[in-house]
Amino acid sequence: MFKHRKKNTRQRAATTHGWGSMKKHRGAGHRGGRGNAGSGKRGDAKKPSYWKDLKRYGKHGFTSHAPEKGAAVNVGHLSSAAERMVLDCLAVKKGDVFVMDLGKLGIERLLGAGKVAVKLEISVESASARAVEKAENAGGKVTVTAKAAPAPEPAPAEA
């Protein structure tokens, strides 16, 4: 039995593998390719669809990197980032204690993961028992502030 050498091994360096122009034998007709390929200056097969739905293409809007409402942070992260937060005016250093109000930063919950190496005085809406314990063991304290509940709407007056 005679073994035939595959044709594509002889055409490894050839980009088009013997089919001439790059646009030939792509299996996509005269579209120029799949997806958004071939939609350039002369992409006549796709231009009308681009004109029809211009809102679909390109980048739109923006992505906010601000902490989400109801965001949480670990007490260990605050401990390691305390010096940087003072430089960014997000916290205040009084003696050897770092004072921070997490409500102003958009953080509502303090969690207990991580090690606390500095004294932290934290004001936050809610905190886990582990977070409070770790902060107090390091010589700091956690003040839990109750979130102001929205005022109830007055009942409609009956006539």
pLDDT at 119: 94
Of 140, 112, 139, 106, the residue nearest 125 (C-alpha): 106
pLDDT at 9: 82
Q: For the chain, what are the domain ranges?
A: 71-144
DSSP 15: S
Mean pLDDT of the chain: 83
Of 86, 71, 87, the residue nearest 126 (C-alpha): 71
Q: Confirm or reject CATH 3.40.50.1010 for domain 71-144, answering yes or no.
A: no
Of 113, 115, 111, 114, the residue nearest 142 (C-alpha): 111
Of 116, 124, 127, 132, the residue nearest 78 (C-alpha): 116
Does residue 113 have a pLDDT over 80?
yes
- Residues 79-114 as b or e (16 or more Cβ within 10 Å = b): bebbeebeeeeebeeeeeebbbbbeebebbebbbeb
pLDDT at 91: 94
What percent of the chain has pLDDT above 70?
89
- Give me the numbers of helices (H) and strands (E) for the chain, helices first please: 4, 7
Of 106, 108, 110, 114, the residue nearest 141 (C-alpha): 110
Taking the C-alpha atoms of residue 72 and residue 109, their distance in angstroms, rounded to an integer, is 5
